[in-house]
Every structure is written in structure tokens, then in C-alpha cells.
Amino acid sequence: MIVVATADFEVYHGVVNELRERGAEFTTVEPDATLPDRTTVVVTGTDHADAFTDVTTIVADPDAPRRAVDQALTAVRGGGGRTIIGVDPGRKPGIAVLAGEIVVAAFQVPLSDAIDVIQREADEATSPVVRVGDGSRLESAKLVNDLEDVTVELVDETGTTPYLGTGSRGMGDVLAAVNIARLEGDIVDTRTIEPTTGELQVIKDRSRERSENNRAIDEMLARRVASGELTIDEALAEHRGQNADLESSASDDATD
């Protein structure tokens, strides 16, 4: 059983709320009280970090109670092990965080936010590994190339997307990320992709959808988007600037 024992109100409030949201079995005691017989893990603050010597102790950061609860639940379930972050790439990547065999967190966010989420989860873990699926080539390459100071493996994601029954719509990318996390891949530092004609056309079509004037970016800008150098919005802004310069030049020529 998990026991919360701290005089730090912020730690207490954050950890207890997280445990309740997870439906976990726990109790609370004063830091100087005798621990219950079934205690397996104590969650406390820095105020009593050295007070519990005969039981697994987790010191919670008041700003990151979820991390402490993840560690406590993993310890209780005997699922200790390396933190592995699985990523199913795409326009809204699925992200799954595993501690050993236990899934402790899951996310699905826009590609523009995915690096921050993955980096935050990796920075809070000890010797983590990020496993990125090799599908959605352009998005996968951007993720691999933008991650810093973490071991990244590229995983063959064939067969990782499960069948989804009625009522489970939207879960596929996250479940695929869990499966990707459980597969070993090849360690990579970068991934270089030469975009196909079809991939460039998809980028152009997306830019047309986002454009106020129903105009697509040109191939050069589409290649820069494909490489991760620009977002579609940045490419559209540059495209508008180029057109404005051309229109200004044409106006000057007409005046002359």
C-alpha cells in the first residue's frame, strides 16, 4: 500500500489528488506516526526525505506530483525498470510513457507540441529511451532530428496499430505508441528523408487549406517544410512575403 506522509501542504495536496484520480489504494499519516503494517511505499517531501529507512521512499516535487505517483505505482506493482517513451508519429503523434511494463502516462498532441512533451518526460526520467515508429516518414524524421540529449531508437512499426472496436475511436495512435515502446529498434542520431512527389503535394495541399487566399506554397518551400526547417504557417508567411515583393516590384516597373 502507498502511504503519503508529509507536512508539505503542496506535496500532500498534489500527490493525494493524483492518487485519487488514478483510483489507487493509499492512506495518509503524519510524518512522525507509525507506518501501517501493509506499507510498501512512502511518498513524502524534502522535509522528511530521510525519515523512512526501512521502506521504499519517494520524495515528491511539489511541482511534479504526477511523477512521484508514477514511481509509487510502479514500485507497488513490481514494475520497476527503465523509462521508455513510445511514439507513433503523424500529424498528432500518440505518445506512451512506460516504466518497465507499466504504462504510466499517455498523450496525443499536435506535432508542433510533441517534442516538448517527449522532452519533458525524458528529462524527468533516469536513462530513458525514446522509441519512434518509422512510419509517417516526414513526421518521424522531424521527431528524431529535434530530440536532444536522449537515446532515440527507430522502430519498425509494422503491425503496431491494433484493431479498434466500437467506442474506441481515437485510441489507435496511443495504443500503437504503447506497442512501439515495447519493441527494440536501431539507435539513431538523425534521419534524413528525401520527400516524394506525393509527400510534397500533401504539404502543398495542406498549405492551400490553411491559406487565406486559397494559395499553395511552391515546391521549394514545401521541401523546407518536409525537412522540418519551417512549419506550414511559417512557409505561408514567407510565401506571402515573396508575393508582396513581386507585386511591389511589378508596381514600380509599371510606374517607371
- 95-147 pLDDT, tens digit each: 999 988 888 889 999 998 999 999 999 987 878 999 999 999 999 999 999 99
Q: What is the residue-averaged pLDDT of the chain? A: 88
The radius of gyration of the chain's CA atoms, rounded to the nearest angstrom, is: 24
pLDDT at 65 over 90: yes
Angle at 82 between CA 56 and CA 59, to 5 degrees: 30
Predicted pLDDT of residue 127: 85
Q: Is the pTM of this model over 0.75?
A: no
pLDDT at 44 over 70: yes
Predicted pLDDT of residue 255: 54
Predicted pLDDT of residue 80: 61
Predicted pLDDT of residue 228: 78
Find the mean pLDDT for residues 32-56.
90
Find the mean pLDDT for residues 23-43.
92
pLDDT band at 244 (very low <50, low <70, confident <90, very high): low
The half-sphere exposure of 59 on its side-chain side, counting CA atoms within 13 A, is 9
Query: Among candidates 29, 62, 30, 33, which has minimal Cα distance to 45?
Result: 62
In the chain, domain spans: 2-76, 83-187, 197-255
Supply φ then ψ for residue 150, to 5 degrees.
-150, 145
Predicted pLDDT of residue 118: 97
Dihedral sign computed on CA atoms, order 138, 83, 98, 6: negative
Predicted pLDDT of residue 53: 84
DSSP state of 196: -
* 2-76: in CATH 3.10.20.30: no
Placement of cell 521512499 in the chain: 57
Predicted pLDDT of residue 245: 54
Q: What is the CATH number of domain 83-187?
A: 3.30.420.140
Identify whether the C-beta of residue 207 lies closer than 8 Å to the C-beta of residue 218: no
Predicted pLDDT of residue 249: 52
**pLDDT by residue (tens digit) across 161-210?**
998 888 777 789 999 999 999 999 999 999 988 889 999 999 999 899 98
Predicted pLDDT of residue 256: 54
> Residues 6 or more apart from 61 whose CB is under 8 A from it?
11, 67, 68
> Residues 6 or more apart from 207 whose CB is under 8 A from it?
215, 216, 217, 221, 222, 225, 232, 235, 236, 239
pLDDT band at 248 (very low <50, low <70, confident <90, very high): low
Strand 26-28 with 41-44, pairing? unpaired
3-class state of residue 34 by DSSP: coil
